[in-house]
């Protein structure tokens, strides 16, 4: 029983996969063949507040847990991160703070899904949400999706990789 209780506590590096809530997010989920439409990552606690890191339609940022209204599932790196990896992934989040959303990549990814066109553009200084989370892990020498080209990771790739495991949904979290 105790192990199950600890399992549902957020840990630095936990991957947060959000369910769609509107038309745009539903289209993203549909186009990526996923039940998820958005990705974030748990940073940890700062001054007693739980912080998430993600990118919205403008830039990458930290978000307080209490400001997240969407439902989500939590996934964790299957081997669990050690203290050094957690410190390094947090440092990487800070390094990637205030980076822009990659609209060009979103557009060309859509063309690939809809028309089969291989026009993927990938600006190394701009990100999609799942790409950002994948790269944060890559920064600490963990390649979550070895069969997926960097920059093309989808929320579904992060859920389905053999390197992550499902932990719980938002309602089962113990804060």
Q: Domains for the chain: give ranges and CATH numbers.
A: 2-172 (3.90.1720.10)
| Residue 49 tokens, joined | 């507040």
| Residue 19 tokens, joined | 């369910």
Please give the chain's pLDDT, 175 residues, in tens: 334 457 889 999 999 999 999 998 998 898 888 999 999 999 999 999 999 999 999 999 999 999 999 999 999 999 999 999 999 999 999 999 999 999 888 888 778 777 877 766 778 899 999 999 999 999 999 999 988 887 788 999 999 999 999 999 999 998 8
The answer to whether 13 and 39 are in contact (CB under 8 A) is no
The answer to whether 77 and 171 are in contact (CB under 8 A) is no
């Amino acid at each position: 029983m105790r192990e199950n209780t600890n399992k549902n506590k957020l840990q630095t590096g936990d991957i947060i996969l959000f369910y769609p809530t509107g038309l745009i997010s539903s289209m993203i989920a549909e186009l990526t063949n996923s039940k998820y439409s958005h990705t974030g990552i748990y940073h940890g606690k700062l001054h007693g507040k739980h912080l998430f890191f993600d990118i919205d339609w403008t830039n990458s940022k930290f978000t307080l847990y209490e400001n997240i209204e969407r439902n989500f599932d939590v996934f964790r790196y299957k081997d669990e991160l050690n203290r050094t990896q957690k410190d390094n992934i947090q440092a990487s989040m800070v390094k990637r703070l205030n980076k822009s959303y990659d609209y060009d990549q979103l557009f060309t990814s859509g063309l690939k899904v809809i028309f089969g066109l291989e026009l993927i553009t990938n600006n190394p200084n701009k990100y999609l949400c799942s790409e950002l989370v994948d790269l944060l892990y890559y920064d600490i020498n963990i390649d979550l999706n070895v069969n997926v080209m960097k920059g093309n990771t989808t929320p579904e790739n992060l859920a389905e990789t053999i390197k992550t495991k499902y932990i719980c949904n938002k309602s089962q979290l113990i804060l």
